[in-house]
């Protein structure tokens, strides 16, 4: 006998805030310390690209992709456009995630989080990948359920709300996520994240969009100067707990357990992100001082390029440096290699690829 579709109660639920005081305080403190660091960064572009790529890799991995951070960066450095094998399709999904986040950041400058925004994100996320046939950019029109691949609905672990309930549920979700009535915004986004996953508005991509919305919400609320807290790493490392606790809300109304997990994720990843940001900034400042010995007007510009894209090719460097001289690029690359900043990894005589290993190590 098939399970009946689950229709989550409208937000907000009744919560026992007293039982969460410790976790709420720790999460807000850790997030505030991270933002205190971000506010004073003169060149945030150095951080946004590599950290966003890392988040895209980890969020996509929860959904089963196998590509690594280095795979994505190398693929882009070599300017591949094919999706000939499984790994390249995985990489395309990760690149789409990053593009969807960038689109969302631009959109938030004009309007709040909304149904239209998540549809736009979905359209970009599923562009030319395995979910492209799954009605990208549109709410689902059919019943969906979650279970092991190939299992019938009778054996589903979760049966999402029927399609005709989506509009009302999303309207409540949108109203709640943009309200200022919840006592604590971190609790608010924790509740909204569960609700989005329970509603399951799309045929595919719900998990990635739901995770992507967390830093966007913190950015919209000015809790972060840049949406640089990516907590997919915590969810990925604690994947079973993540899914079990989401299910426990649906099955038992166990909000406290889910929120405790979610707030701990915010705390853990705020502390970790702060350490990563400090590591990147210290490395940048050290190398910027070091390259004064490299007599080139392009040296600092190349340093910025490799911080944004820590795996590069001759072609990608030339494009970013905006110089017509191949020899200028060759000379500068040779100096960066001699200084130990870059290492050549392709082993080719032409179309060489270089890695900025010290930054990759910080991002791991």
Please give the Cα distance from 26 to 21 (Å, whole number).
9
Question: What's the pLDDT tens digit per position in 271-330?
Answer: 999 999 999 999 999 999 999 888 888 899 999 999 999 999 988 888 888 776 888 888
**Dihedral angle of Cα 14, 20, 23, 28, to the nearest 10 degrees:** 60
Write phi, then psi, for 353 (nearest 5 degrees). Answer: -125, 140
The 10 Å Cβ neighbour count of residue 36 is 11
Question: What's the pLDDT tens digit per position in 203-232?
Answer: 999 999 999 999 999 999 999 998 988 899
Residue from 122, 138, 92, 93 nearest 213 by CA: 122
Average pLDDT over residues 76-82: 72
Fold of 17-273: Fic-like fold (1.10.3290)
> What share of the chain in percent tops pLDDT 70?
96
Residue from 43, 98, 73, 64 nearest 215 by CA: 98
Please give the Cα distance from 306 to 302 (Å, whole number).
6
Residue from 316, 318, 326, 310 nearest 364 by CA: 310
Judging by beta carbons within 10 Å of its beta carbon (0-12, 13-18, 19+), is residue 84 exposed, middle or buried? exposed
The 10 Å Cβ neighbour count of residue 310 is 25
pLDDT at residue number 122? 95
Residue 39 pLDDT greater than 90, yes or no: no
The angle subtended at Cα 322 by Cα 316 and Cα 327, nearest 5°, is 80
The rounded Cα 289 to chain-centroid distance in angstroms is 31
Query: Which of the four pLDDT bands, split at 50, 70 and 90, describes residue 191?
Result: very high
Decide if 183 contacts 25 (C-beta within 8 A).
no
CATH of 294-363, one of 2.160.10.10, 1.10.10.10, 3.40.50.300, 1.10.1670.10: 1.10.10.10
| pLDDT, the chain, mean | 91
Question: What's the pLDDT tens digit per position in 319-352?
Answer: 888 776 888 888 999 999 999 999 998 777 777 8
Write phi, then psi, for 164 (nearest 5 degrees). Answer: -75, -5
pLDDT at residue number 81? 58
Judging by beta carbons within 10 Å of its beta carbon (0-12, 13-18, 19+), is residue 288 exposed, middle or buried? middle
pLDDT at residue number 329? 87
Break the chain into its structural domains and give their ranges: 17-273, 294-363
Angle between helices 206-220 and 115-125 (to 10 degrees): 130
């Amino acid at each position: 006998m098939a399970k009946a579709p689950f229709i989550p109660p409208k937000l907000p639920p009744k919560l026992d805030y007293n039982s969460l005081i410790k976790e709420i305080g720790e999460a807000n403190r850790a997030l505030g310390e991270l933002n205190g660091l971000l506010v004073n960064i003169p060149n945030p572009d150095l951080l946004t690209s590599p950290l966003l790529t890392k988040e895209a890799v980890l969020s996509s991995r929860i959904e089963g992709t196998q590509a690594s951070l280095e795979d994505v960066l190398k693929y882009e450095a070599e300017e591949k456009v094919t999706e000939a094998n499984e790994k390249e399709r995985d990489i395309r999904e990760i690149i789409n995630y990053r593009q969807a986040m960038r689109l969302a950041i631009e959109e938030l400058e004009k309007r709040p989080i909304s149904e239209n925004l998540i549809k736009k994100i979905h359209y970009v996320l599923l562009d030319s990948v395995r979910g492209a046939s799954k009605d990208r950019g549109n709410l689902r029109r059919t019943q969906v359920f979650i279970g092991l691949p190939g299992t019938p609905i009778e054996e589903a672990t979760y049966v999402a709300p029927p399609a005709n309930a989506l509009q009302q549920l999303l309207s409540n979700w949108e109203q709640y996520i943009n309200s200022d009535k919840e006592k604590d915004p971190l609790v608010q986004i924790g509740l909204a994240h569960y609700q989005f996953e329970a509603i399951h508005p799309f045929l595919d991509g719900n998990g990635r969009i739901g995770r992507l919305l967390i830093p966007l919400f913190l950015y919209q609320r000015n809790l972060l100067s840049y949406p640089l807290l990516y907590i997919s790493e915590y969810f990925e490392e604690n994947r079973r707990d993540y899914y079990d606790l989401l299910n426990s809300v649906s099955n038992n109304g166990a909000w406290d357990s889910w929120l405790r997990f979610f707030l701990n994720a915010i705390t853990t990843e705020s502390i970790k992100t702060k350490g990563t940001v400090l590591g990147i900034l210290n490395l940048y400042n050290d190398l910027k001082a070091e390259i004064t010995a490299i007599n080139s007007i392009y040296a600092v510009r190349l340093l910025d390029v490799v911080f944004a894209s820590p795996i590069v090719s001759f072609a990608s460097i030339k494009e970013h440096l905006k110089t017509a001289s191949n020899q200028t690029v060759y000379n500068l690359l040779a100096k960066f290699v001699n200084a130990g900043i870059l290492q050549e990894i392709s082993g080719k005589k032409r179309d060489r690829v270089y890695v900025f290993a010290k930054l990759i190590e910080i991002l791991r």
